Homo-oligomer: A and B are copies of this chain.
Amino acid sequence: MRRKYYLEDLPLDAAWQRFQAALDRVEAGRALPAERVSLAEAGGRITAEPFWARLSSPHYHAAAMDGVAVRAAETVGATETTPCQLVIGQQARWIDTGDPLPLEMDAVIMAEHVQTLDDERIEIRAAVAPWHHVRSLGEDMVATELVVPENHRLRPVDLGALAAAGHADVAVYRRPRVAIIPTGAELVTVEAAQTAALQPGAIIEFNSLMLAGQVAEWGGSATRQSPVPDRREVLREAITAAVNEYDIVVVNAGSSAGAEDYTAAVLAELGEVAVHGVAIRPGHPLILAVVQGKPVLGLPGYPVSTVLTAELFLRSLIYRMQGQTAPRRPTVNAIMSRKVLSPMGEDEFLRVTLGQVDDRVVATPLIRGAGIVSSLVRADGLVQIPRFSEGVHAGAPVTVDLLRDPAELASTIVAIGSHDLALDLLASHMRHIVPDARLSSANVGSLGGLMALKRRDAHLAGSHLLDEETGVYNHSFVARLLPDEDILLVNLAYREQGLIVLPDNPQQLHSLADLTHPEVRFVNRQKGSGTRVLLDYHLKQNGLHTEQIAGYDREEFTHMAVAAAVLSGTATVGLGIRAAARALGLAFIPLFKERYDLVVPRRHWESVRLTPLRQTLESDAYREAVAALGGYDVSDMGKLM
């Protein structure tokens, strides 16, 4: 017998307000007390009070040049033809930059405009105005002037100005100390995962790493605690101890209402649960509580939910406790490349990649699962789909919160289409040649890539589409789908396709015909993928029918997903590339060699943006690296086909 889920569906703003109200009732979550730190340690910290100049700068009239100090009145009338002589020691004194101006002097003449006559006299050939080349007292700052206001993030130049104004230390808000408590008996450290094989069910604990990194970026100081098992008493003790010692406590996860989710119950015992369940996706099972005057957040355990709910709530809190308002992320206007349906009633935060193609910025949604941490790595931005909306149409304008520097987007090459490990290698080698080059690749199959080019969503597409009529790769598809474009087919490599089976090939499969054996459970690729086209072509050539193959209807979207299905035993065989088999330690029975091209509109191929890619295709290091993958023939790499 299981408990059912009883979570609220509080709208985002209502959740924040209720949390604020709970914090305010006990005066929690406010700016922390100030501490004094030396200027050398104050960079990036936030001033807790205004700072006024204690000293003027300069604090005396100073020579601004190396030269002679003079009385301007005594230089009147000096010209090229009527030079003026001055007696050193009486009328003129040699002086270096920064030296105090002698009391009776009021100007400085640069050394190069001074003629030395002898040890006692100099000659000048131009008059000088009073205060010329003099930095007068307080020229920079006068005592009592404001140097920096309160709530100001100290930059290097602020440190200089504060020192010049006579401050050796500053009062800054203490950094919020955040305790991160991972929960779950299944958690293992990444260090442990490196030394022993992971058991099924064991999960590498990495959410606390991401949270600690976020906390540091926002100015807080995080302490990652050891994972706590899902036991009520233990959890209560851990939270109680953390609340005593830290300014904010984050419990991750156990924030839902499942059989082993005790966080909410424990927090309700210890303090006040202001919010349990927010109508956002991902991130719904979220707890916002106050215990002994300290904010306690129960963040959901799926990594994308963890990161996103931390962004939404923890970030604001950490800024606020340093007297700041969290800055808004920069945004960019983009066009949504695909239709996105979103559930009514929830604010959805969609991760997208962004591509600047021609004059448009195109946002392509990434896979939405809350467990896909790689989608956060690949995301260029977030699109918020409001809870009263059912989604976004293809081609609709959207505002994207940027997760990257806009300059990075300007140099990003967008590849959408068939995926291949050689593309990953390309992305990596490109950075070796041009450090800030970037390849963003989305995996939608060969046909999907050509459609993306047609919609102008990408700069290039990886494609290995075999024409069943002609037996030639890519040409006919490009001619049919992109008739008006000047398209280049640039070969990346020829690669082997074959059967992926368990080690030692237990079913002894050696040909396509073997797939019709009754004990075979096949796993297929999706329609439109190059591998699917290849399979169908050869089935036809061999007079085989799709109904003869058990599992022909089961579709996966990547080579790797096919290999994973074989490894886990849910299928006994799939068709794919050697690299996928090798990645999971599976056996590979080569059947075909296929051509894998980059399909690139000429205007992109010849653009500056693609220079790093062109250079990489020409580099020996890259060619050798692809060849070393095994199963690749790189003899035509970079050739126009």
**Which residue numbers of A lie inside 8 Å of B, CB to CB?**
1-5, 39-40, 43, 50, 52, 54-62, 64, 66, 94, 96-100, 103, 106, 111-112, 114, 116, 119, 130, 135-152, 155-161, 163-164, 166-168, 184, 186, 189-191, 193-194, 198, 200-201, 203-207, 209-214, 216-217, 224, 256, 258-260, 301, 303, 307, 323-325, 327-328, 330, 369, 371-374, 376-377, 405-407, 421, 424-425, 427-428, 430-432, 435-436, 554, 558, 560-561, 563-565, 567-570, 579-580, 582-584
Contacts and interface: CB of A to CB of B under 8 A. Distances in A.
B96 A260 contact: yes
B258 A136 contact: no
Given A2-B116, A374-B141, A168 B151 contact: no
A611 to B, nearest CB: 14
B435 A164 contact: no
Given A142-B583, A327-B405, A111 B4 contact: yes
A210 B163 CA distance: 10
Given A156-B307, A166-B193, A209-B159, A147 B325 contact: no
Contact of A111 (B5, B61, B405, B569): B5
A194 B266 CA distance: 52
A243 to B, nearest CB: 23
A159 B206 contact: yes
B307 A163 contact: no
B206 A191 contact: no
A225 B111 CA distance: 31
Contacts of A307: 156-157, 160
A216 B43 contact: yes
A425 B49 CA distance: 12
Contacts of A4: 111-112
6 closest pairs, A vs B, by CB?
A156-B213, A163-B206, A144-B583, A142-B560, A146-B424, A100-B200
Nearest to A100: B200
Given A142-B563, A160-B303, 10 more contacts: A3-B111, A56-B564, A140-B374, A142-B580, A142-B583, A149-B431, A150-B432, A157-B373, A164-B373, A327-B407
B2 A190 contact: no
Given A4-B112, A55-B198, A160-B207, A147 B377 contact: yes
Contacts of A3: 111
A150 B430 CA distance: 9
Contact of A60 (B201, B260, B421): B201
A503 to B, nearest CB: 15
Contacts of A147: 374, 377
A166 B190 contact: yes
30 contacts: A1-B119, A2-B114, A4-B111, A39-B190, A56-B564, A60-B200, A61-B568, A64-B369, A99-B186, A135-B371, A136-B561, A138-B563, A140-B372, A141-B373, A146-B425, A149-B428, A150-B431, A155-B213, A156-B307, A157-B210, A159-B209, A160-B209, A161-B376, A166-B190, A166-B193, A166-B194, A167-B190, A168-B193, A168-B194, A330-B406
Pick from A164, A198, A569 the residue with the most CB of B within 10 Å.
A164
Nearest to A430: B149
Pick from A137, A150, A569 the residue with the most CB of B within 10 Å.
A137
A119 to B, nearest CB: 8
A309 B116 CA distance: 33
B431 A152 contact: yes
B159 A213 contact: yes
A62 B302 CA distance: 13
Contact of A193 (B55, B141, B430): B55
B210 A159 contact: yes
B564 A137 contact: yes
Contacts of A66: 2, 256, 258-259
Contacts of A116: 1-2
Contact of A584 (B50, B56, B62, B194): B56
Contact of A164 (B157, B303, B584): B303
A432 B369 contact: no
Contact of A564 (B114, B138, B564): B138
A98 to B, nearest CB: 6
Contacts of A580: 142
A112 B99 CA distance: 82
Given A4-B111, A201-B98, A372-B140, A145 B57 contact: no
A401 B222 CA distance: 34
B144 A421 contact: yes
B570 A151 contact: no
A376 B211 CA distance: 35
A270 B470 CA distance: 71
